[in-house]
Amino acid sequence: MKNYKLIKNTAFTLILCICFSSCSTDFLELEPRGTALESTFYQTEEEVFQGLVAIYDVLQWGGTDGWTMKLGLLNAASDECFAGGSDASDQPSWVAWDAFTLDPFLGPQSGLWRKNYAGIYRANLMLQKIEEAQDMDEAFLSRVSAEAKFLRAFFYFDQVRMFGKTPLITAPLSGDDLYSQTQNEVSEIYAQIEQDLNDAKNTFELPSTVTPDEFGRITQGAVSALLGKVILYQNDNSRMGEAAALFDEVINSGIYNLEANFEDIFKTSNEFGIESIFEINFSEKFFGGWANFANGTEGNYDVQFFGMREYVGPTFATGWSFCPVSQKLVDAMQFDPRREATIIDGNLLKAQGASYTEGYQNTDYFIRKYAGLADESSVDGEPALNWGNNVREIRLADVYLMSAEAHARSGDEATAKQRLNRVRQRVSLQPITSPSGEALLDAIFHERLLELATEGHRFFDLVRSGRASSELDNFVEGVHEILPVPQNEIDITEGVLIQNPGY
């Protein structure tokens, strides 16, 4: 059923072969335990491709140190959703980020840190092996190198936004070197991210489009979109024209378009659709169970988390009632045409005869975009761990709105309004014509709230725009923009790593 078949079918095999363990105690122990086997691996194009697959595989991880799915956690940290679950003790790390009661021991930071560095390690290893490769097609190696650099940049972008200063590691490490890595400045991390993305962008062999059997592999459009986003998030107004040019390059490429119907974007039947620029692939066909819950199932755990607890009724599958949608978001979308495709109204379902158990922080509103549907539940393995719903990491409407912001901040308000109104036009909203200056930026950020609700963008939007302390309860400016460094990482390095301020 799924495309991207080669990547699907080889990821777990490679992990078993070279012991890229997802169960190690922390990222400092990510050196493959099968080093003798690793030294003889990567001898053929097939083996190199399997190594590339292993980097992509980390994008799917949601079971590192518990339930640490980036999408769900970012929703809980924002004002769009609460943590939820069965009760306050269900997932304390989720509740801690939602309530901003984080400390070095309590929060999702350990799993997120380890996931990012697992992806970085695998990318570093692949890039090293490419340099050593002999008698392989140069075009093949160039494309693989570009993908590895994109993925390393992607993981570092998450890492720097989540943790601020962090060790910058660009080659495989072993022995004592693992425990002596100090934190680099944020500017250094961003410089490396941009270098990797520019290298990928300038790789001729990286295609603009891929065939269905390669869906999920990155393209030139994904590189340009992420590079523009990286520049935008650094908040340097002198570079907004640079970011705008990258976004416009994607928009004007002729490859992507907005879906005619907003509700079609997140249908599983429309994965890798015309609006999708970078999509993380999941599968319901892996027979995953609790024994390989820790990043071994290929399923999307967020889908199970978002569902209504003990639900009985039409259309939807039962879930665990995490990330109930806030009344604040419901009110903001009260008259918005995207509301029904964004939010499930539990009261309406109950009025129609459905039932569910109210979970912690229940609001009777639930996430629709990644809702599990009864007729899409996996029949292979444990259904809760095998949802195949892909995550739309970057889609064209997001790029339109980032372009609008970049143009507005560079002084080109006419183009900014054009980009903003293109998104509004899709759902038959009246164009915005009058705002200027800060009022225009406010309109763009409000449109991001409505268009991208529950897609994991809101928390970072609030942080980078300086709105977080006024919109998020208990948020302390200067502290909660980033997570604490996991205490176990500080302990294992004997204090080489330093805790973030305020923690």
Residue-level pLDDT at 378: 87
Name the band, by pLDDT with cuts 50, 70 and 90, for residue 251. Answer: very high
pLDDT in tens, 38-49: 777 899 999 999
**What is d(CA 64, CA 271) in angstroms, rounded to the nearest whole number?**
26
CATH topology of domain 1-68+108-211+473-503: 1.25.40
The 3-class SS string of 240-306 reads HHHHHHHHHHHHCCCCCCCCCCHHHCCCHHHCCCCCEEEEECCCCCCCCCHHHCCCCCCCCHHHHHH
Mean pLDDT, range 361-372, rounded to an integer: 98
Confidence at 15, pLDDT banded by 50, 70, 90 = very low
Give me the percent of the chain exceeding a pLDDT of 90.
86
Task: Say how far apart CA 501 and CA 485 lie, in whole Å.
Answer: 10
Going by C-alpha positions, the residue among 382, 383, 389 that lies closest to residue 290 is 382
**Cβ–Cβ under 8 Å, residues 267 and 231:** no
* Structure confidence at residue 137 (pLDDT): 95
pLDDT above 70: residue 109: yes
- Burial zone of 314 (CB within 10 Å; 0-12 exposed, 13-18 middle, 19+ buried): exposed
Neighbours of 374 (CB within 10 A): 12
Name the β-bridge partners of 184.
166
pLDDT range class, residue 37, cuts 50, 70, 90: low
Hey, what's the torsion of the CAs at 287, 291, 292, 298, to 10 degrees? 30
pLDDT at position 17:
35
Give the end-to-end CA distance of the chain in Å, rounded to a whole number: 46
**What is the residue extent of each domain of the chain?**
1-68+108-211+473-503, 219-281+390-465, 290-388
- pLDDT interval class at 125 (50, 70, 90): very high
* Of 460, 463, 333, 447, nearest in space to 401 by CA: 447
* Predicted structure pTM score: 0.93
Given the structure tokens 């306050």, which residue do they identify? 88
Euclidean distance between CA atoms 149 and 141, whole angstroms: 12
Res. 280 pLDDT band, cuts 50 70 90: very high
> What is the chain's mean pLDDT, rounded?
92
What contacts 463, CB < 8 A, 6 or more positions away? 161, 481
The pLDDT assigned to 339 comes to: 98
Q: What is the pLDDT of residue 32?
A: 38
Share above pLDDT 70 across residues of the chain, in percent, rounded to a whole number:
93
Distances 119 to 56, 72, 206, 321 between C-alpha atoms, Å: 8, 19, 20, 29
Q: CATH topology of 1-68+108-211+473-503 equal to that of 219-281+390-465? A: yes
What is the reported pLDDT for 295?
Answer: 80
Is the predicted pLDDT of residue 379 greater than 60, yes or no?
A: yes
Digit-coded pLDDT (tens) for 444-475? 999 999 999 999 999 999 999 999 999 999 99
More confident call, 267 vs 292:
267
Of the options 1.25.40.390, 3.40.50.300, 3.40.50.920, 3.40.50.2020, the CATH number for the domain spanning 219-281+390-465: 1.25.40.390
Quickly list H helices, 133-185: 138-163
